Amino acid sequence: MFLESAKKAGWIEVICGSMFSGKTEELIRRLKRAKFANQRVEIFKPMIDIRYSKEEVVSHDSNIIRSTPIESSAGILLNTANTDVVGVDEAQFFDNGIVEVCQTLAANGIRVIVAGLDMDYTGKPFGPMPNLMAVAEYVTKVHAICVRCGNLAHHSHRLSDSDKLVMLGEKESYEPICRHCFNQLNSNR
């Protein structure tokens, strides 16, 4: 029997890992597939992330998708009317309200795909990412390759002496390393 009042199911997907692990690449791939399926897609990124572009999400491999830069997570709810899929890049830079925003969107029948660093440069859980992973239906952890030994890397090792938690950078500032190399480097400090 067909139910006219059947509600569209929404859910949360989290893509996490270290820098250079392919998080944004996977986010873009999923969003492009949704667009190909004629789904209405909106993509958001934190306004502070201007490394490659002010208004686009760009992977390290130079794949690009249009996005809306926003200052806080509340801005997402203001821009998602008539949307089937919402993508969020660099979620670790958003305020903790991003968790509730994602849950609200999913409760309203929207597929939410979030990408971000799961740990900061010190190896601690980063911002709202642990809570997003806890409430998500699907969590994909992607890995880079350790530039020092070739094992699977899941740490973003900062190459500078800065102790600021948020420091935007690329290969000149960070390198992916494995647990063993991370522990070795940090035992020498």
Domain ranges of the chain: 11-143
Record the tokens describing residue 53, joined without a space: 């572009």
By the 10 Å C-beta count (0-12 exposed, 13-18 middle, 19+ buried), 138 is classed as exposed
**Which residues form the catalytic set?**
90
Mean pLDDT of all residues in 127-135 = 97
Residues 25-34 have pLDDT tens digits of 999 999 999 9
Residue 172 pLDDT: 65
**52-66, 135-149, 173-187: least confidently modelled range:** 52-66
Please state the rounded mean pLDDT for residues 68-77: 91
- The CATH number of domain 11-143 is 3.10.129.10: no
pLDDT classification of 161: cutoffs 50, 70, 90: confident
Q: Is the pLDDT of residue 54 over 90?
A: no
pLDDT at 133: 98
Mean pLDDT of the chain: 86
Q: Give the pLDDT band (50/70/90) at residue 1.
A: very low
Q: Does residue 105 carry a pLDDT above 90? A: yes
Residue of higher predicted confidence among 37 and 9 = 37
Contact assessment for residue 70 and residue 76, using Cβ atoms and an 8 Å cutoff: yes
pLDDT at 168: 53
Phi–psi pair at 39, nearest 5 degrees: -90, 150
CB-count exposure of residue 11 (10 Å: 0-12, 13-18, 19+): middle
Q: What percent of the chain has pLDDT over 70?
A: 81
For residue 83, give both structure tokens.
């949307």
